[in-house]
Chains A and B, each alone.
Chain A
Amino acid sequence: MKKMDLKGVVGLVFGNENSSSNEDSYVERLLDCISNGQLADDRRNAMAELQSVVAESHAAQLAFGEMGFPVLLGVLKERDDVEMVRGALETLVSALTPIAHAKLRANEVQPALMNTDLLSRDGQSISLLLSLLGEDDFYIRYYTLQLLTALLTNSPIRLQEVILTIPRGITRLMDMLMDREVIRNEALLLLTYLTREAEEIQKILVFEGAFEKIFSIIKEEGGSEGGVVVQDCLELLNNLLRNNASNQVLLRETIGFDSIISILKLRGTTYSFTQQKTINLLSGLETVSLLVSGGLETDPGSNNNRLTNKTVLVQRNVLEHLLMLGVESQWAPVAVRCAAFECIGDLISGHHKNLEALASKSLGDEPETEPALNSILRIILRTSSMQEFIAADYVFKNFCEKNSDGQKMLASTLIPQPMSITNARFEEDINMSFGSMLLHGLAMSEHDGDLETSCRAASVLSYVMKDNIQCKEKVLQIELESSMPSLGSPEPLLHRMVKYLALASSKKGKDGKSTTPRNSYFQPIILKLLVTWLSDCPNAVQSFLDSRPHLTYLIELVSNTDTTVCARGLAAAVLGECAIYNKSNEPGKDAFAIVDAISQKVGLTSYFLKLDEMQKSFLFSSAKPAQQRKPLTRSNANSMAEMEDIEENETNDINRNDDHPMLSSMFDSQFVDFIKKLEGEIRDNIVKIYSHPKSNVSVVPAELEQKKDEKDGDYIKRLKAFVEKQCSEIQDLLNRNSTLAEELASTGGGGESRCSGGGGSERVQIETLRRDLEEVSQRLEMVKSEKSNIESEALTYKNMAEKMETDLKSLSDAYNSLEQANYQLEMKSGGVGVDVEKIKEEAREEAQKESEGELSDLLVCLGQEQSKVEKLSARLMELGQDVDALLEGIGDDAGALNDDDDDDDDEED
């Protein structure tokens, strides 16, 4: 009968979601039944009911937190009824699981989070939960793990801290990895959450043999062919290794890296890459990249550890498997190929032996083998995926960085081929050398007008020449045959590249809006090549200036508002290099002439502005040293695995005057630093060149004297010629002077030239104004940063206050319930007749009140009150009170109540 009553009330509860007082009292009654119910069945039913209410009702979750934990933790402590323990755990899981469809108002507390807070605050209850993992019953262990996972999801840091303080707490969790499969999988998830960014926990797990267990599970589940369990294992493994040098050393020194490498190994002829397998491989590649990036930067031994990891990985043949994934396997998804290239790039970066190892690798079956570097180059030239190009490009960047021998080796093969071969199709290029393939790529655009291939080749070429004067000189010697030999002699490669640059911008100009984002990166990459090439290389500068239109074109590009900020800035950098690395004495091509051209056609101020603008653009400001890749987790794995040229769609609507986002990976921190340094040099040198104009006429007083046997006529002629020269020079200087003065007046800035032209006072004024402006803007900056500081402070305080508030709330709730309990206890134990009167009266009142609204509610309440009366009577009797005498006064009322109760029952039936 009781059960029926309960059902009735549930109906009411769901009919009336908003009345939280209803929920409160209902949950309270269920809890009361759980702790005080006479029959085991009643208690179990109440528990089941409680679980379902808490799982579905927002208000019930809220109500549960205030009263439920002590009761359910009590059940967990007693552990005499397995079914009750299971039920209690399941209920707790429900209480911590946010209800998906519940609509929360903005400022409302999420009850699941509040409950998490209540439960995780007490170390004892976590300790209690961990001890439940030792129970024999499967469901108890299973639900306990789920409960701990829920706690960790909602409040990771607190739980990590608590678990660390529990002796052998982590050991218990680790033991679950040896349990039966369902438990083991649950434990894997739990440990993954537990180890996120918690170095000490990561270490303890490893001490407890986590590596061995993880690898044995992976093996058991079939390596990369396995299911989501393998993915979970790898995520846990990666958590243990991320930024944790100590664990990396342990893995390397005791188990070794073979187990990791074998995950990357493709078996047989693999053409099937399921989504799961892709994710598994990506996770395995992430492991390699974590090992290669070592521990935290701040750790002094980090660099050593990183280098040793790289050495050991390559010794264990990881390159072979990476090349298989990145190059040889035709079916590997783009995401996997890219990640493999990134790993290769990381492995060789700054590691001499590994560079050599990669250079000596050959791919393919005899006799059709070719160097791995050639295969990677072919991918760069041919792939249709932008990401893959960038990833493969990264390999060459790292291969050439501070590796002059490697650069020379690559450059030595740069020998132009006769046209017949240059025209050969790519399919026949298996026997081509690296250099021929690269030159072929560079020359491609000549045939089909597609700049993309040439542009990618240009990117590789710039790595080959970077910081290497010998390679720069060598490449300068290269001349390409014109596509139409009849049109004339072969042209230098450098000139061809400038031609492509012009082609790229003219295409833009003509097509106007039809410019796709895809080719907006052509110009910057070719300019990057030129900047790299001309740097510290007077011969390259000379070759560049050999063709008069080059300079004109470059100057045009600097002031062309149709190009991107980056293209203008880079063009300005090339222009600057033409001035500062210029050793020429030829009039019109010397440094002075270049600076002159800049100042007259662009204006010095405007010129430096271009360099500034570029460095402020996102490409330069967003380039951070060694960006960490995002960890692969269950929640983002799918999207990572499905990477397929997403940027094609995403960037379609970007402004065509914006730079292509992909450039940010090519404009890495090294290049950004290089440009910064270059800009400083350009500024210094241009000022120097300007302030010391080379005079055509040297004035030597002795020459002005009439020579001994000189005739007067000749003397006058000589003097006249001299004066003419000086005159024209003065004219020259005056012209320049006026340009400078104009510029000064129009921009109010610069201050680069020291010529004190007209309008001295104006100059002074402008100068002071400029300084004032600078000061004010600095102050503004300061105030801004102060403001943001204060704002963030305010935010933290606000958060703190919120936390305090919830803390306070739960404390006061706890206090309230304590007081209630206290009150009840007082009533029960007092043995005071008057109280019985009161209780009865109260009971009657309450019963009457409730009966108006909810009939079934009344039933339960009355039953409970009555049993209370009975209990109290019995207690009174025990205490030796004269029960009969007391009952005389109140017996009639009680009888009447009883009658009512019966009547109601009858009616209902």
Chain B
Amino acid sequence: MSYDYLFKYIIIGDTGVGKSCLLLQFTDKRFQPVHDLTIGVEFGARMVAIDGRPVKLQIWDTAGQESFRSITRSYYRGAAGALLVYDITRRETFNHLAGWLEDARQHANPNMTIMLVGNKSDLSHRRAVSKEEGEQFAKENGLLFLEASARTAQNVEEAFLKTAEKILQKIQEGVFDVSNESSGIKVGYGRPQGTGARDGTVAQSGGCCG
């Protein structure tokens, strides 16, 4: 149960791009071809190791449908990381990315780390968005980028872990005030002393400033 850090993630993107399947693959290591529409928001959690230190990921998978937007927006502010997902076989889901990003910029913490995920990479024969386009969009907007497949599990771990690495890096650079809950980051209680003294001081100084 004990962890060094706890990060809150959200998963956003159009309906049907595979957000819930990505989460299920990540938390349960299984794929469910037919998934009910997400109503509101669902929760998942997993412990991972980043740089050899235990980090707890709390992940909120949101409904992509427009009608739930006012509910899902409530989750933006308190998140440290976001997976922004589109479906590489459906062009319109890529075209809507700008709108999602706008929403995130408006409601989220400015330091939120966003990972752009082009999902369903196993269906490359039906591809409607090239990998280069995804890369280009990510670069222009300062996002991380990966193409992944919830079905084959390809790059699913990476998507969550790379985001966590980035957040950890930002913490070490002192970007976050980790004592502020709205950052979506919490320092663990059960933190073993002595390991990684450098980061310990970062966390402690964060505590003092708050």
Which of B8, B56, B70, B75 counts the most A-chain CB atoms under 10 A from its CB? B70
- The digit string for B151-182, where 1 denotes a CB below 8 A from any CB of A, is 00000000000000000000000000000011
- A168 to B75 Cα, complex, angstroms: 9
> Complex: how many Å from CA A170 to CA B42?
18
Q: In the docked arrangement, what's the CA distance between A207 and B45, Å?
A: 12
* A204 contact from B45, B75, B107, B182, Cβ within 8 A: B75
A368 proximity list for chain B (CB < 8 A) = none
The residues of B that contact A253 with a CB separation of less than 8 Å are 45, 58
Cβ contact of A171, chosen from B6, B44, B58, B77, cutoff 8 A: B77
A82 sits at the interface (CB 8 A): no
A207-B8, A250-B58, A254-B58 known; A170+B74 contact, CB < 8 A? yes
With A207-B60, A207-B78, A254-B58 as given contacts, are A200 and B43 in contact (CB-CB < 8 Å)? no
B71 A164 Cβ-Cβ under 8 A: yes
Closest chain A residue to B3, Cβ basis: A254
A728 at the interface (CB under 8 A from B): no
B40 lies within 8 A of chain A by Cβ: yes
Whose C-beta in chain B lies nearest to the C-beta of A247?
B43
A254 and B74 alpha carbons, distance in the complex (Å): 20
Q: Does B73 belong to the interface (CB within 8 Å)? A: yes
Interface residues on B, range: 20 to 34
Binary B-proximity of A202-239 (CB < 8 A = 1, otherwise 0) = 01101111000000000000000000000000000000
The answer to whether A701 has its CB under 8 Å from any CB of chain B is no
- Report the minimal beta-carbon distance from A724 to chain B, rounded to whole angstroms: 76
Asked if residues A256 and B1 are in contact (CB atoms below 8 Å), the reply is: yes
CB distance from B60 to the nearest CB of A (A): 6
A200-B45 contact in complex given A170-B74, A250-B58, C-beta closer than 8 Å: no
Q: Which of B1-59 contact A (CB under 8 A)?
A: 1, 6, 8, 40-45, 56, 58
**Cβ–Cβ contact B43 & A168, under 8 A:** no
Q: Whole-angstrom distance between the alpha carbons of A168 and B109 in the complex? A: 12
Shortest B7–chain A CB gap in Å is: 11
Please determine whether B43 and A208 come into contact, CB atoms closer than 8 angstroms.
Answer: no
Contact with B along A15-28 (1 / 0, CB 8 A): 00000000000000
Given contacts A164-B71, A167-B107, A207-B8, contact A254 B45 (CB under 8 A): yes
Interchain CB contact under 8 A, A164 and B70 = yes
Q: What residues of chain B lie closer than 8 Å to A839, measured between beta carbons? A: none
Could you tell me the distance between the alpha carbons of A165 and B56 in the complex, rounded to whole angstroms?
30
Residues of A136-190 whose CB lies within 8 A of B:
164-165, 167-171
Please give, as numbers and ranges, the residues of chain A lying within 8 Å of B56 by CB-CB distance: 254
B43–A203 touching, CB < 8 Å? yes
Q: Is A246 part of the contact surface with B, judged by Cβ < 8 Å?
A: yes
Q: Are B40 and A200 in contact (CB under 8 A)?
A: yes
Q: Complex formed: what's the CA distance from A206 to B40 in Å?
A: 14
For residue A164, which residues in chain B have a CB less than 8 angstroms away from its CB?
Answer: 70-71, 74
Selected contact of B77 from candidates A168, A199, A200, CB within 8 Å: A168
Min Cβ gap B62→A in Å is: 10
Query: A689 an interface residue at 8 Å Cβ cutoff?
Result: no
When the two chains form the complex, which single residue of B1, B8, B43, B107 contacts A246, counting CB atoms closer than 8 Å? B43
Nearest CB of chain A from residue B80's CB, rounded to whole Å: 12
| Interchain CB contact under 8 A, A250 and B45 | yes
A266 in the interface (beta carbon within 8 A) = no
* Min C-beta distance of A331 to chain B, whole Å: 34
B74 touches A207 (CB 8 A): yes
Complex Cα distance, B74 from A170, in Å, reads: 8
CB distance from B178 to the nearest CB of A (A): 14
Q: A209 CA to B78 CA in the complex, in Å?
A: 9
A249 interfacial contact with B, CB 8 Å: yes
Closest Cβ–Cβ distance, residue B182 to chain A (whole Å): 8
Chain A residues within 8 Å of B41, by CB: 200, 203-204, 207, 246
Question: A171 near B74 (CB under 8 angstroms)?
Answer: yes
CA distance A164 to B68 in the complex (A): 10
- Give the chain B neighbours of A169 by CB distance below 8 A: 74
Out of B1, B58, B73, B182, which one reaches A167, CB within 8 Å?
B73
CB pair B181 A204 closer than 8 Å = no
Q: Nearest Cβ distance between residue B204 and chain A, in whole angstroms?
A: 19
Q: How far is the CA of A36 from the CA of B73 in the complex (A)?
A: 41
Residues of A within 8 A of B44 (CB): 249
A207 interface neighbour in B1, B70, B75, B107, Cβ under 8 Å:
B75
Contact of B45 among A165, A167, A199, A249 (CB under 8 A): A249
Docked-complex contact A167 and B74, CB < 8 angstroms: yes
Q: Once the chains are docked, how many angstroms separate the CA of A809 from the CA of B49?
A: 63
Is B40 a contact of A199 with CB atoms below 8 Å? yes
Q: In the bound complex, what is the Cα–Cα distance between A207 and B186 (angstroms)?
A: 13
Q: When each residue 480-499 of chain A gets 1 if its CB lies under 8 Å from chain B and 0 otherwise, what string results?
A: 00000000000000000000
Residues of B within 8 A of A203 (CB): 40-41, 43
Tell me the smallest distance from the CB of A297 to a CB of chain B, in Å: 15
Are B43 and A249 closer than 8 Å at their CB atoms?
Answer: yes
* Residues on A with beta carbons closer than 8 Å to the beta carbon of B107: 167-168
- Report whether B58 and A204 are in contact in the complex, using a CB–CB cutoff of 8 Å: no
Among B1, B74, B75, the one with the most A-chain Cβ atoms within 10 Å of its Cβ is: B74
Shortest C-beta distance, A203 to chain B (Å), equals 5
Q: Report the minimum CB–CB distance from B185 to chain A (whole Å).
A: 12
Assess the B6–A204 pair: CB atoms within 8 A. no
Q: Is the CB of A209 within 8 A of B40?
A: no
Q: How far is the CA of A619 from the CA of B8 in the complex (A)?
A: 50
Across the two chains, which residue of chain B brings its CB closest to A170?
B74
Q: How far is the CA of A207 from the CA of B70 in the complex (A)?
A: 15
Complex: A249 Cα to B60 Cα, angstroms: 12
Taking A204-B75, A207-B8, A254-B6 as contacts, is the C-beta distance between A165 and B43 under 8 angstroms? no
**Quick check: A204 and B71 within 8 Å, CB to CB?**
yes
Cα A504 to Cα B70 in complex, Å, equals 65
- Complex: A256 Cα to B73 Cα, angstroms: 27
How near does chain A come to B173, taking the closest CB pair, in angstroms? 25
Minimum CB–CB distance from B75 to chain A (whole Å) comes to: 6
* B150 vs chain A, min Cβ distance (A): 17
B74 to chain A, nearest CB (A): 5
Nearest residue, chain A, Cβ from B46: A253
Residues of B within 8 A of A167 (CB): 70, 73-74, 107
A165 & B40 in contact (Cβ 8 Å cutoff): no
A208 and B45 in contact, given A254-B56, A254-B58, A256-B1 (Cβ under 8 angstroms) = no
Instruction: With CB as the reference atom, state the residue of chain A lying closest to B60.
Output: A207
Which of A204, A207, A250 gathers most chain B CB within 10 Å?
Answer: A207
Chain B nearest Cβ from A447, distance in angstroms: 55
Inter-chain contacts of B78 with A (CB < 8 A): 171, 207-209
Q: Are A246 and B42 in contact (CB under 8 A)?
A: yes
Roughly how many angstroms separate A209 CA and B56 CA in the complex, as a whole number?
Answer: 15
Cα–Cα, bound, A368→B111 (Å) = 62
- Distance in angstroms between the alpha carbons of A250 and B56 in the assembled complex: 12
Q: Is the CB of A204 within 8 A of B74?
A: yes
In the bound complex, residues from chain B placing their C-beta under 8 Å from that of A204 are 41, 71, 74-75
A171 to B75, CA, bound (A): 10
Distance A246 CA – B45 CA, assembled complex (angstroms):
10
What is the minimal beta-carbon distance from B8 to any residue of chain A, in angstroms? 7
Q: Which residues of B contact A168 (CB under 8 A)?
A: 74, 77, 107
A247 CB contacts on chain B under 8 angstroms? 43
Q: How far is the CA of A169 from the CA of B70 in the complex (A)?
A: 11
Residues of B close to A254: CB separation below 8 A:
6, 45, 56, 58
How far apart are A218's CB and chain B's nearest CB, in angstroms?
Answer: 17
Residue of B at shortest CB range from A169? B74
Interchain residue pairs A-B with the least CB separation, the first 3: A253-B45, A246-B43, A165-B70
For the A-B complex with A200-B41, A207-B78, A250-B58 known, give 8 more contacts whose Cβ atoms are closer than 8 Å. A203-B41, A203-B43, A209-B181, A247-B43, A250-B45, A253-B58, A254-B45, A254-B58
14 CB contacts below 8 A, A to B, read A164-B70, A164-B74, A167-B73, A168-B107, A170-B74, A171-B74, A171-B78, A204-B41, A207-B74, A207-B78, A208-B78, A249-B44, A250-B45, A254-B56
| Residues of chain A having any CB pair with chain B under 8 Å | 164-165, 167-171, 199-200, 203-204, 206-209, 246-247, 249-250, 253-254, 256
B: which residues have CB within 8 A of A? Answer: 1, 6, 8, 40-45, 56, 58, 60, 70-71, 73-75, 77-78, 107, 181-182
